[in-house]
Structure 1
Amino acid sequence: MVRIADLESGDYWKHMGMTTVPNVDGKTQVVMKVTEQLKQFYGNVHGGVLAGLLDSAIAVAVNERLDSSEGASTVELKLNYLRPVNEGTLWAEGKIIQKGRRIIVGQGEIKDDSGNLVAFGTATFMVTQLAR
């Protein structure tokens, strides 16, 4: 199984400033501080940043369900943006809706520091067998 620390240690996660923390229910959340580098022209966090954060949060939930011989890749992502964010910290959490042998469907949400829902969506991951 891919450890969550392995995901977190990747260059993409470092570049985006994402880290993980367990929430009060023991579920893993992905946390990201809003920086100037993550904002678009109008001063809000870029939609692609939010999409990457949501995908990463669902990926954490997916990886928690894989066995040691499996990997997974996103094959579809859909999200709805509900409110702009231009400061603070974003908190994302994913969960699995359905896990089959080849396809995993998850959903997730992103909230701001005040607990306001910023975005939510779904993702489909393809399960692959890792080379040994």
Structure 2
Amino acid sequence: MNTKVEQLFQTFVENANKEDFETLETILNGLVQKQQGNYHTYLAAITNSNATPLENGSFQMTAPIQPLIENPLRIVHGGMTALLLDSTMGSMLAYKLPKDQAAVTVEMKVNYIKPGTGKELICISSVVHIGKQLCMAEGKVYNDKGTLIATGTGTFFIISRK
């Protein structure tokens, strides 16, 4: 095993509280899930985000609210909310585009409406436009009680997959 990693792990364990151990468990579980092929990215794995196409053509991604994604005020960090919007809109476009194409974000706007609190974030995105080079999507983030947390729009550039 890597000596530097062992030292860091030992220091962490010696000083960890209950929340630290729960967060470490979340991260390690995500890394194992990624190794087993259950997630495409490390970020989705360690945040336990799950994506699902919906029957109406929209796309949904969920993420549990946990200390890993909270800011010092104990609400979801705005960057995590933006990440969820970007990931949901981008995943939806990747699902809808031909298999030899992908979409990368070129612009995104987020409007934060309420603090991210509760047990889970649920983001639902839909296509605004798919053109030859650019796509536009929109998304809304809710908490598990149905409260609207944020809305966003994004412009994505279509690229060829390598």
TM-score category, normalised to shorter length: 0.7 to 0.9
**How many corresponding residue pairs?**
126
1:120 to 151, 154, 158: 151
**Structure 2 unaligned residues grouped into runs of 5+:** 1-36
Aligned-CA RMSD value: 2.0
Displacement after TM superposition at 1:65 (Å): 1.7
Question: Structure 1: how far apart are the matches of 2:131 and 2:38?
Answer: 22
Could you report, residue by residue, the CA deviation over 1:27-60 in whole angstroms, capped at 9, with x for unpaired residues? 4310000001111111110000000001111112
Partner of 1:37: 68
Question: Structure 2: how far apart are the matches of 1:102 and 1:124?
Answer: 10
Question: Structure 1: how far apart are the matches of 2:49 and 2:125?
Answer: 14
Larger RCO (CA under 8 A, 6+ residues apart): 1
Looking at secondary structure, tell me which structure has more helix per residue: 2
> Is 1:48 matched up with 2:79?
yes
1:12 to 36, 43, 54: 43
Partner of 2:95: 64
Partner of 2:116: 85
2:59 counterpart letter in structure 1:
T
Displacement after TM superposition at 1:79 (Å): 0.6
Paired residues for 1:102-113 under 5 Å: 102-113=133-144
> Is 1:98 matched up with 2:129?
yes
Looking at secondary structure, tell me which structure has more strand per residue: 1
Displacement after TM superposition at 1:22 (Å): 5.0
Question: Structure 2: how far apart are the matches of 1:108 and 1:7?
Answer: 24
* Shift in alpha-carbon separation, 1:116–1:87, aligned structure 2, 3 A: closer
2:91 counterpart letter in structure 1:
V
Q: Which is worse superposed, 84-93 or 73-82?
A: 84-93
- The structure with more radius of gyration: 2
1:122 counterpart letter in structure 2:
T
**Structure 1 unaligned residues grouped into runs of 5+:** 1-5
